[in-house]
Chains A and B, each alone.
Chain A
Amino acid sequence: MERLLFFARRCGKAVLVILFVIAINFALIRAAPGDPATILAGESGAVDAGFVERVRKDYGLDRPLPVQLFTYMKQLLSFDLGNSYRENRPVKEIILEKLPATLLLTLSAFVFSIAVGVGLGIAAARRAGSALDALITAGSLVFFAMPLFWFGLLAIVLFSVKLGWLPPYGMSTVGADLEGWRAWLDTARHLLMPAATLGLFYVAVYTRVTRAAAMEVMDQDFVKTAHAKGVPESRIWRRHILRNAILPVITFVSLQAGHILGGSVLVETVFAWPGIGRLAFDALFQRDYNLLLAVFFVSSVMVVVFNLVADLLYSLADPRIELQK
């Protein structure tokens, strides 16, 4: 029962965030120089007077401000994201088409970085002060300092151009009509570099955070108690240190969710990966602000959902949260 209440509260907070995002969108459109209608119509749409007028009517731009805000909120909450002039179809359709590619990329990068990052962080903490620790720490600092897009470009030069091992662009080989597992393999080959590029940066981040969290827990009294009980090292790490260190890591990871989506914009651009990040880049290029705002909105919703899941995980992991309310 208490857990349901807790979950309900978190959902309430999530809705608040989404409303706030809508408000930001609204404010940005209004704050920009120029006529909001032309901004929403996008560069190509602004040329067509008829389209601009339709936009003005759809968004109620001639009504008073509070009404506009209300209309806008209603629209976004029902996922009515407007129309694209360029492609002559609803933005929602365009985004839904490209979303799976981004999900594939970010989720694989995420899983990879968590698995490797947490593992390395623990390994470094276990042998703190040793050569391995220094190596892992230095390595993570190095990867943390590399601009994602630069690293991606260098990877393309090395692995695609010089060595010819991996395809440089896109999600599938153009022209080849593949079926079944061959298609999967082709996708996987295309996925490898972009996912690794995105993932390696976050491996560095999670390594640092996990190491710091583990080292803090290692110093605590209850670890000493476990030693005094005669518990073997491996079990101490599993049931005492890891179980407690994972909590701040979960918190941190959920805060980083928005970052990975930002990173996917860069990676998708460099590798021409057909996801919503690439879509955002194109929208920037074409001055299609409506599309850009829509991508921002959808990304925010995804992050909020992800945070809800992370919060739930956290409350499962930490008994103090639910039971202390």
Chain B
Amino acid sequence: MSPLLHIEGLSVALPEGSERPFAVHDVSLQVLPGQTVCVVGESGSGKSVMANAVMRLLPRNVLRVAAGRITLQGQDLLSLDAASMRTLRGARMAMIFQEPMTALNPVMTVGDQIDEVLLVHGRTDGAARTRRVIELMAEMNLPEPETLRHRYPFQLSGGQRQRILIAMAMALEPQLLIADEPTTALDVTTQAQILALIQRLQRRHGLGVLFITHDFGVVADIADQVVVMQQGRVVESAGAAQVLGRPSHAYTRRLIDAVPRLRAAQAQEQAPAATAPLLEISRVSKSYRARGTGLFGARGRTLALDDVSLCIGQGETVGLIGESGSGKTTLGHCVMRLLDIDSGSLRFNGQSVEGLRGRALAALRPQIQMIFQDPFASLNPRHRVRRIITENVILGGVSPAEAQRRMEQVLALVGIDPAAVERYPHEFSGGQRQRIGIARALVMQPRLIVADEAVSALDVSVQQQVLALLRDVRARLGLSMLFITHDLRVASQICDRIAVMHKGRIVETGTVEAVARAPKHPYTRSLFDAMPGLAWERRAQAQAAEPLRA
């Protein structure tokens, strides 16, 4: 079978003064009709640039195709003039992007945006276009297409917007679909639905799919062929079974090893404490005023937390699992006393803390610290690292000499060179900044750490290291942790118990193993079922178990 898409020796040059000369260097791959090729890599691997190059959507004055050939069904794309390229886009080849919210024109109805594809490619019959728009929306399983098409993007959910984008892409039944991380910004349950949709479309229309992702679980579920990229080059390219089961390149092996799996709980290092719990959350509720109100606004309230109760014992790590809108971040902020609760009680170390103010609150602060999600926003860009780490300690009354000693101790724990403290945050990598954030939290000598999606923004290999660091630090210092995340597998790497949150309530608690084996609540079940790469994980576990049987 002749290839649908054939990329040969593609190189895309970066502007002068960049950290490397090429964003993409000598990359070759093929997509056959009806086949799904997944391109995997960490940030900076050039996978996105390559995808954009195929559609010739690279920013004109910044990135430039330096060498190579791209052909679509034998037609050379790089030498086409702009007008011909335009006729191909949307009609024979289509692309969907990562962020559904910003990828749609906010002032145009979603129906009009789908209609536009048909219009600009010569479908002049208005009524026929409308019929096709409704047909497409129905195929994408969007509810009530007749009325939905008159809505604006901000009125739709993330999953619905992505379906609209896919509808736009499929409108003219292209042969090739390029998907650039289309599900990364979506909840895991929505992600599963979108992936199923793409697979269904592929079977029905014989679509060739070039799927960019960083998530090996997704790759395991949908790929026929896998291409692994690192620093702009292809390091491995083979069938999915081979790459996932018997990877030949060291980098691929490292990446796959770093993928978090549902870990069986290790034997408890200490016996479950018979002492009183460190943190007791009892029947906490909190609601928000709807946005956009003020002196002249209407009142509307959303219930963020609904009668939530949870305990964290001494030295215990409890995971708070939920998707966006579940209330997990709000609960974390309430525990940290960044927000006030409406009703219920919070007891820390036996003391009631929900009503603390002023000096009493200030005395509490060092004992509960937080690690944040975004390593690029959690450190003040204008302060040196030394100041970032020691500022709060010194303000709390500790002498500079003692603060220095503590800082050095903590830096040794997290693995940052003490000589680096005179530098600014932008001089460090994402993983290093996360370590600095951890150091900042630890230097206050807290009893409880709240980690709010602390590893979600990191590449998978860095994620592995930071999780190991957290486990290490926790053991040495006897810390308790509230680990907030949306990723069950990550939670299983570090949590003793988990609590699943949905729409402001805790629907299930227990050890990861217990909950995974027999989830009681339907929402928990759907979370587990939606995890990408389940089949692959089970196979790998079965294989690992095999030698023991013999």
Chain A interface residues (CB < 8 Å from chain B): 9, 12-13, 129, 220-222, 224-232, 235, 239-240, 243-244, 247, 317-320, 323-325
Contact = CB atoms under 8 A, between A and B. Distances in A.
B103 A221 contact: yes
A235 B154 CA distance: 23
B297 A230 contact: no
A318 B108 CA distance: 9
B15 to A, nearest CB: 13
A228 B297 CA distance: 40
Contact of B298 (A220, A231, A320, A325): A325
B31 to A, nearest CB: 17
Contacts of A220: 102
Contacts of B95: 228
B108 A224 contact: no
Q: Top 5 A-B pairs ranked by shortest CB distance?
A: A230-B90, A230-B89, A221-B102, A229-B90, A228-B95
Nearest to A229: B90
A239 B296 contact: no
A319 B109 CA distance: 9
7 contacts: A224-B103, A229-B117, A230-B117, A318-B107, A320-B107, A320-B154, A324-B292
A interface majority secondary structure: helix
Nearest to A220: B102
Contacts of B102: 220-222
Given A224-B103, A229-B94, A231-B120, 5 more contacts: A9-B296, A225-B103, A228-B94, A228-B95, A323-B152
A10 to B, nearest CB: 9
B152 A229 contact: no
A227 B57 contact: yes
Contacts of A317: 107
Contacts of B296: 9, 12-13
B106 A222 contact: yes
Interface in B42-68: 55, 57, 61
Given A230-B87, A230-B89, A230-B117, A225 B165 contact: yes
B97 interface: yes
A251 to B, nearest CB: 14
A274 to B, nearest CB: 41
A192 to B, nearest CB: 37
Contact of A230 (B61, B88, B152): B88
Contacts of B88: 230
Contacts of B99: 221
B402 to A, nearest CB: 48
Output the residue of A222, A243, A318 with the most chain B CB within 10 A.
A222
A12 B294 CA distance: 14
A244 B55 contact: no
A244 B152 CA distance: 14
Describe B's contact surface by its main secondary structure: loop
A247 B107 CA distance: 10
Interface string B139-161: 00000000000001011000000
Given A221-B99, A222-B106, A129 B61 contact: yes
A320 B105 CA distance: 12
Nearest to A224: B57
B306 interface: no
Contacts of A13: 296
A227 B90 CA distance: 9
Interface string B75-107: 000000000001111110011010100111111
Contact of A228 (B57, B87, B121): B57
Contacts of B91: 230
B187 interface: no
B38 interface: no
A221 B108 CA distance: 14
Which of A9, A225, A228, A244 counts the most B-chain CB atoms under 10 A from its CB? Answer: A228
B327 to A, nearest CB: 23
Contacts of B154: 320, 324
A79 to B, nearest CB: 27
A74 B298 CA distance: 31
Contact of A243 (B61, B104, B107): B107
B108 A243 contact: yes
A230 B106 contact: no
Contacts of B90: 228-231
B57 A229 contact: no
Contacts of A227: 57, 89
Question: Which of A317, A318, A324 has the most CB atoms of chain B within a 10 A radius of its CB?
Answer: A324
Contacts of A243: 105, 107-108
B168 interface: yes
Contacts of B87: 230
A244 B97 contact: no
Nearest to A227: B57
B107 A224 contact: no
Contacts of A225: 97, 103-105, 165, 168
B265 to A, nearest CB: 42
A12 B106 CA distance: 28
Interface string B269-304: 000000000000000000000001000111000000
B117 A239 contact: no
A230 B120 contact: yes
Contacts of B120: 229-232, 235
Contact of B107 (A221, A226, A244): A244
A222 B89 contact: no
Nearest to B87: A230
A134 to B, nearest CB: 15
Contacts of A244: 105-107
B116 interface: yes
Contacts of A235: 120
Given A230-B91, A323-B155, A222 B292 contact: no
A231 B168 CA distance: 12
Nearest to B98: A221
Most chain A CB neighbours (cut-off 10 Å) among B95, B105, B116: B105
Contacts of B165: 225
A224 B116 contact: no
B117 A319 contact: no
Contacts of A320: 106-107, 152, 154
Contacts of A323: 152, 155
A226 B55 contact: no
Contact of A240 (B61, B86, B105, B292): B105
A231 B116 contact: yes
A225 B154 CA distance: 17
Nearest to A128: B61
A161 to B, nearest CB: 48
A319 B103 contact: no
Nearest to A320: B154
